[in-house]
Structure 1
Amino acid sequence: MSSPIYIQIHNKIKQTIESGKWKVGDRIPAERELAVHFGVSRMTLRQAVQTLVDEGILERHVGSGTFVARQKVQERMSSGVTSFTEIIESEGKQASSKTISYLVTTPSISESERLDLAAGEKVLRMERIRYADDLPICFEVATLPYNLIKDYARSQISTSLYRTLAENGLEIGHAEQNISATLAPERIAEYLDVKRGAAILRLRQTTRLKDGRPFEYVRTQYVGERFEFFLAK
């Protein structure tokens, strides 16, 4: 099973950056030029580029183009890992999800790296809109090692993954998180019922089991006016 075309292009662009051909701060070629180079539609090319933006590898500058991202200043944070469902229910609200896509496929280079996958391993890539009392809070792309979750029903995974793992004796450990600010592109704005360009909080997270195995690589975009991160130290 081959990867979707946009993931294949994602990999090629990432490899170009890692080879040093495009360096930090460089502007990459325009979408039209790249679409011709790869022989794909601009929509497919745009999806590949947006995936790299969501991963923090590229960054868009309004009116200027797309650039190889600079390393951001980081503050290391640590806290317990809490699922979206648990967070929403703790506020006395009803958590729900709408699954946009659910696909067992070949991982991207980034997904393989984050999940420490061996060659040939498959992943489940799932896109969801997450709600609190029917209000869209975030759009999430979660990638999971297929071997870990292949025996679970789709409803068990798409409704509350953490709860399903716990019920099957898999204890959640810690997570590595990167949080940054961005603006909602057209597709995300439509999913979250906000205007294009609305403030978005972007989270990239790798979550591990107690034994250290990574089981989830998730890219989540939260509506800035509907969600905030709180950390107690």
Structure 2
Amino acid sequence: MSLRTPEAGGIEPIELSQDLPLPLYLQLAKHLRNQITSGKLAEYDALPGERELADRFGVSRVTVRKALSSLTAEGLLNKRQGSGWFINSSTHVEQRLSALTSFSEDMASRGLQSGTVWLDRSISRATPEEALLLNLRPGDQVARLNRLRLADKTPLAIELSVVPTKYLPDPFGFEGSLYQHLRNLGHPPHRALQRLSAVRLIPDLARQLELPEGAPALYIERRTFLEDGAPLEFVASHYRGDAYDFVVELNLT
């Protein structure tokens, strides 16, 4: 059975089907998510009430509430006590994985103003795992750069970079792009390997990214190499799941 909603309140019509394997609340959440991220529903706009949405979409209020709660967990909606549900369409970025760029360079290419809140800058001994990933000897020192990355003042990612001190002797010696600073020091990044996985944010990370605890995020580990194959950097990052799409172009060989 198919259910068709009327066009109202800026929300486009959609067909919800009880015959699909995807539950109705997830079908509704997907549709509203597309409306928000495409800009068809403007930031800070109020959604119609749960009863009105249920009538418009021909579903129960429980279904509507589950859909809205799902979007709230993703950071796309805010629920204000006594006032209803409001759009929270934060900065959305689409990043291709075919090029090696820094966060600052990536935001600049999109016309966004990048920003940084330093959480930690220090030098310490590499952990056994870091020593293995960076081909270091036990006791070798590394520079640690832990940053909250912003785009147009919106927090998008928490990024921990670990670089051997032979390549970055002074972690306080720059403020902008780390990759540009490494190029200036004569150590230009050449290639990288990345691993992506889906996670839910623990309380501290969620607070820093201004999201609810347990909100979805992308966890990315990257190893960056010099042209001669020597490991230059290890990065562990958490990206907002509601703000980032990673795109890969595939070609037939």
Determine if the TM-score, normalized by the shorter chain, exceeds 0.5: yes
Q: Which residue of 1 aligns with 2:240?
A: 223
**Any idea what the Cα deviations from partners look like across 1:177-214, whole Å, max 9, x if unmatched?**
11000001000001100000111000001101112111
1:111 aligns with 2:130: yes
Q: What one-letter code is carried by the residue in structure 2 that aligns with 1:136?
A: P
**Any idea what the Cα deviations from partners look like across 1:28-85, whole Å, max 9, x if unmatched?**
xxxxxxxxxxxxxxxxxxxxxxxxxxxxxxxxxxxxxxxxxxxxxxxxx973311111
The correspondence of residues 119-138 of structure 1 with structure 2, limited to 5 A, is 119-138=138-157
Instruction: Give 5+ residue unaligned stretches, structure 2.
Output: 1-95
C-alpha distance in 2 between matches for 1:114 and 1:180: 19
1:194 aligns with 2:211: yes
C-alpha distance in 1 between matches for 2:141 and 2:172: 16
Q: What one-letter code is carried by the residue in structure 2 that aligns with 1:197?
A: G
| Paired residues of 2:219 and 2:237 also in contact (CA < 8 A) | yes
Q: Which residue of 1 aligns with 2:229?
A: 212
TM-score after normalising by structure 1? 0.63
C-alpha distance in 2 between matches for 1:97 and 1:178: 23
> Do the aligned partners of residues 141 and 153 (structure 1) sit closer, same or farther apart at CA in structure 2, a change above 3 Å counting?
closer
Q: How many residues align?
A: 155
Q: Which residue of 1 aligns with 2:20?
A: none
Q: What one-letter code is carried by the residue in structure 2 that aligns with 1:93?
A: L
Instruction: Give 5+ residue unaligned stretches, structure 1.
Output: 1-76
C-alpha RMSD of matched pairs (Å): 1.7
C-alpha distance in 1 between matches for 2:112 and 2:122: 29
Q: Which residue of 1 aligns with 2:41?
A: none
The correspondence of residues 1-233 of structure 1 with structure 2, limited to 5 A, is 79-150=98-169, 152=170, 154-156=172-174, 158-233=175-250
| Paired residues of 2:123 and 2:171 also in contact (CA < 8 A) | no
**Any idea what the Cα deviations from partners look like across 1:120-145, whole Å, max 9, x if unmatched?**
21011221100001100000111110
C-alpha distance in 2 between matches for 1:169 and 1:230: 30
SS of aligned partner of 2:105: helix
Q: Which moved more, 1:78-87 or 1:180-189?
A: 78-87
C-alpha distance in 1 between matches for 2:248 and 2:183: 23
Q: What one-letter code is carried by the residue in structure 1 that aligns with 2:145?
A: M
Q: What one-letter code is carried by the residue in structure 1 that aligns with 2:177?
A: S
Q: Which has the larger radius of gyration?
A: 2
C-alpha distance in 2 between matches for 1:222 and 1:167: 27
Percent identical residues = 29
TM-score after normalising by structure 2? 0.58
C-alpha distance in 2 between matches for 1:170 and 1:146: 12
Higher helix residue share:
1
